Amino acid sequence: MSDDSPELADLRRRLEQEEAAYAAALDALDRLGNTPPPAAGAEGLRATLNALCAREPPPAGRFGGWAVAARIDALAAQQREFSSVLVQFLNAEAEARARQEAHVQEALSALLRYLQRVLPVMDARDRVSSALATTRAELILEAFDRRLTSLGRRLEGLLALRDRVEALGEETRALRPGTGIPPVTLPAPPSPDDVAYVAFENRFRGSRDEIRGRLASYVPLFAGRAPVADLGCGRGEFLELLREAGTEALGAESNTQAVEHCRTRGLEVHAIDLLTFLRGREGGSLGGVFAAQVAEHLPPPVLMALLRESHRVLRAGGLLVLETVNPRSVIGLLEVYNRDLTHEKPLHPDTLSFLAAAAGFGDVRVEMRSPVDPAARLQPVPTDGLPPRAAEALNENLDRLNALLYGPQEYALLATR
């Protein structure tokens, strides 16, 4: 959305209308504040009333009935004058109060009209700010991403050229005099750390047959979704299962010994880190992305980047499956997660689901896996000799403990593009 787009012009026009409504409400409040009090216009009448109340009555007459009648007439005249002034004062008070009430009603009506428009005003302002900020941020990030992609491709080309030049130099220097035959070049040995970690997985994660048995249930999920990328494919058990099912697949693995092991079995595996692998794929080029026991090894920023890149490379209807340790199971947390020193952070199912949805995935769901052997769980208490309610409560508490201590040790996040 550009700065001069019709949508932003409409939002600006709405903001101008709302500002006018706000100014009208303030004007109504100002008029209410400038309204004189009810008695402000009747001060002269009030003074006249006070003077009439303080005036002495006419003196009593001393000579016959005509003097009494004159006094009565004088009192009556005073009363009529007082009543007349009182009526004028009350009328003035009533008119002033009516004017003030009219101003109050006008101000209240203006305020109510404005309050009814407050939320649209805030929404319009937020939308303008968000639209401009999001648009500019997206343009900057898009440009930055294009530059990084371009630099990455150039760097890969330079590294490949450097390796080729070095290899040619070694071959040239190693030529036997007079024969022109270079010696056999052996691959570089894997690093000690790679060897140690493969041995660790062989010792604690299980044999090839055990891993194949655990991963076999994922294969049907990717039927018709080729090609499928297995991130952190390890020894390649899942790639073999997909190949046997007729589903095209490729792997990415940073452990050089594991890569060599996969290649000897005829599997297409790239010796590369996961993010670099995904960023090198075209958008919508994959039907599935799979990663078993990988997400918990990634720092949060890398995990979020992996989710975003997976969403980008998957085509519509593509499937992402991430299997990881279940931190809601105490035995899973203690016996599986804590055993591996390379684990970065346990991932609560709700957290991983939220991050996947935030990355754009729909139909996000979680499936629990690797249940604990029932024989290893706390066993129910026999009810013989116990009051029925006590035995029931005790076994309910045991069920809660079993769910906490011996819950499924792993779970899989399934998210559709």
CATH number for 404: 3.40.50.150
Residues 229 and 360 placed together within one structural domain of the fold: yes
Structural domain includes residue 369: yes
Does a structural domain hold residue 318? Answer: yes
pLDDT at 195: 44
Residues 399 and 297 in one domain: yes
Same domain (yes/no): 122, 264? no
Check if the beta carbon of residue 259 is closer than 8 Å to that of residue 269: yes
| Burial of residue 317, with CB atoms counted within 10 A of its CB: 0-12 exposed, 13-18 middle, 19 or more buried | exposed
Residue 406 lies in a domain: yes
Output the six-digit token pair for 70. 């004159």
pLDDT value of position 187: 43
217/308 same-domain check: yes
Residue 209 lies inside a defined structural domain of this protein: yes
| Domain assignment present for 67 | yes
Residues 283 and 347 in one domain: yes
Both 75 and 205 in a single domain?
no
Tens-binned pLDDT, residue by residue, of the chain (417 aa): 555 677 777 777 777 777 777 777 667 666 666 666 555 556 676 777 677 677 766 665 554 555 667 777 777 887 888 788 777 877 777 777 777 777 677 766 666 666 665 555 555 555 555 555 555 556 655 665 665 566 566 556 556 656 665 665 565 555 444 444 444 433 444 454 444 445 445 545 667 888 899 999 999 999 999 999 999 999 999 999 999 999 999 999 988 888 999 999 999 999 999 999 999 999 999 999 999 999 999 999 999 999 999 999 999 999 999 999 998 888 877 777 777 777 888 889 999 999 999 999 989 999 998 888 888 788 887 777 777 777 778 888 888 888 878 888 899 999 999
Burial (Cβ within 10 Å: 0-12, 13-18, ≥19) of residue 389? exposed
Give the residue from 107, 141, 175 where a domain finishes: 141
In-domain check, residue 167 = no
**Domain containing residue 64:** 6-141
Number of domains in the chain: 2
Res 176: pLDDT? 45
Q: Are residues 202 and 100 in the same domain?
A: no
Specify if 146 maps to a domain: no
pLDDT of residue 295: 92
Write down which residue in 81, 108, 141 finishes a domain.
141
